[in-house]
Structure 1
Amino acid sequence: MSRRLPGVARTLRDVRPLDPLSSIKIKLGILVAATVTLAVMITWLGLQLEMGPSRTFPVAILLSLVLTQFLARGMTSPLREMTHAVQAMADGDYTIRVRATSRDEVGQLAAAFNQMSEDLASVEQTRRDLIANVSHELRTPVAALQAQLENMVDGVVPATPAMLEQAHAQTERLTRLVTYLLDLSRLEAGASALSVSEFDVGDLMEECADGLQMVDAAKDLHYIIDVTPPNLAIEADRERLHQVLTNLLQNAIRHSPRDGDIRMDAYPIGETVVLEISDQGPGIAPEDRERIFQRFARGTASSPGTTAPAAGSGPDGAAGIAGSTPPASGGTGIGLAIVRWAVELHGGHVEVADSDEGATMRVTLPARAHPAPGVTAERLGDE
């Protein structure tokens, strides 16, 4: 019995008889009316029993104060719980929740506080995951680059063009990761500027594919570029669009099977230009097709029993289209969020399109420069 007493006492101290009421004004009115009524009844009863005012009034006041304390404590319990929760959150504990059973303004505040606590816990977990993932992504190329350079300095291996090319590839990997992190900071800061020019879509696709030839060397992948019409042009920020295509291509490469095909299609629809990157990987589960565009989101592959890494979990922190690489491969989970940010700056949108095989990422952009509201566009000379 002794173990139960603290819990029972705690329950009695937290009784909230006025919770069903929907307004704190009504609660205060009932509180005043109840205490006044109780005082009047005790006074009347004392007079009827001929106890006299000297004994009746103190009893009436004391019992009224007890009733006030009982009712007011239940009304203010969420506020005390929030104070305790805030102190715990200041120490890094985001697990405490407030009992939000009342329907008045204090109850609504408690519910909002619980939602804020959940959001802060999610943000804190995201921060920890980001630090861990970025640390992993930075450590891998740095360690490889350091080992290669030490071997060449110590004379273990000669400084052949192949070794120098490998070292150069690692530095490029580091550069891409830093670029993604800088883009993330711009996204957070709301940066919204474009350098617009007109250029050939087919040339840009070939440039992106040629720039990633070394990435897929071990897989012997085949690129199929289909631009209709062949001279299709678009007004956009070429650097941003290059980033979008490269980002998607890196992950199509990563998740494609050996000797597979990667399609790059472009075609006009009305006043827009559609760009598609398709792979032959396991695809993306339908329930994840919208969520993967959120920062740090992780998705699951559409094929049974296959788990995809984080969206944006490519070797360079790029956006993952789909795949079966285990989570240990690392990833920052920011790639697709950056892709969506860059596309929306242009007034376009990106989505996962339905496909019979693998995954297809579809980017739709205005053919003529039409940035999103609030986005400034500097027009450069046409190419």
Structure 2
Amino acid sequence: MMRMLRRLSIRARIIIGSTAVVIVLVLAAGTAVYAQISSIAVSREKAVLHGIAEVYRGIIKEDPAEPFEKPGVDQHVAIIAPDGAVRMDTLPKDLAEHLDELTEPGPTLREFRFGETYYVYVDVVDTPQGSWKVLVTRESDIAAGIVSGVSALLWTLFIASAVLFAAGAWAVATAALRPVEHLRRSAEHLALQRGETGLLPVSGTGDEIDALARTLNGLIEDVRAASAREQQMVADASHELRNPMAVLRAQLELVDGADPDADRELLGQARATLNRLIRLAQAMLELSRIEAGSAPERTSLRVLAEEVTERVDRLRWHLAEPSSELRGEIDLDIALLTPDATASLDAAGIGHVVDNLVDNALRAAAAGEPVHVRVALRQEQDGLELLVSDDGPGFDPLITDRAFERFTRSETSDYAGGGLGLAIVARVAQLAGGQATISSAPSRGAEVGIRVPVSRPASDRRSPNTHQR
């Protein structure tokens, strides 16, 4: 049954459900009214028959030897003497044939069904000669007629109310669902016209349909923004990957075996180009995952500090390797007021920030020149700040304002990066509810970092936990 209802339209389900509720309520009310009317009719019939029986009771009490007068029109009486003789019988044939059954001990008012329904009043009159029995009924079952009429009226009202309410429910459901149908057609139009920038209509009534339209419009805008980012990413990736791949192909084509020294140099250049392609592809995948994700779960500052420490240690080990092409040193400074406070930033996110900012600082230095990098994680009253500063050449003033945009690179720098590291940093900060910052001065280094809001723990302990490495 439920499966069949689910296949019906919302309009049909509203009509069926509301009509069923009304039918149950009307049926319950009709049953109560019918029971009350039946009780009143039976009580009234008993009173009438009792009045007729009282007339013959008085005659029997005064002089039962006198002949009994016949009852009025449509009234029927049977009088049985103590010796069993029937002194008078004007009962209908159906009742007269069951006289013995009618005189059996029982309630005063009895209901019998012999073809028709009869209410028979049985009055026992005690005299010195014995007990007389007076049976009284009326023609055409007047009480049953009243009840039958009331029953027919109730059924008529029941059917009429069900039909009228179903029609009213259809009209109300149609009117209520008209805005939904309008939304559906508008959404269908937007789906067919993919190039359009329109949204679903909002009537401004402030009802649930408006709330649904606003929610769907927000979803549409998010989907369009995600689609635009995806298209832009694909276009940028195609553009950014084309040049290094062409360079790599040209370098490999020049390797012909005629000059081993030249070939060795070309293979080294090809290896560097390939490493650049790998870093670029990894950065694109990383940025794609971050942009496709939602706001991360809240993480304690203690866990974030441990992740920053681990990432810095890993970078130090990498610098210490003989095969490392980078030179420099990294200092770490952590200062937390409430380590149990939380930020909407996970360990992976802050790890991405440290890796990208430190790698940028090390690679931006002049070839062969060591660079001093300082990583600082500190908590203020209402925020957590991660800053990475260096003493390198700093940012090109021409790109500082748009350094966090994807594929932004300086034309004058020797560092051929992918241009995605700072975009990743900015996106991580945005998902955490914060922002990325940058400051730079030529020949005096640069300072890049993020700042995110912090929620203090319930105890709000202010025990500073500061250490330097």
TM-score (norm 2): 0.39
In terms of Rg, which structure is larger?
A: 2
Q: Higher relative contact order by CA 8 Å / sep ≥ 6: 1 or 2?
A: 1
Q: Which has the higher strand share?
A: 2
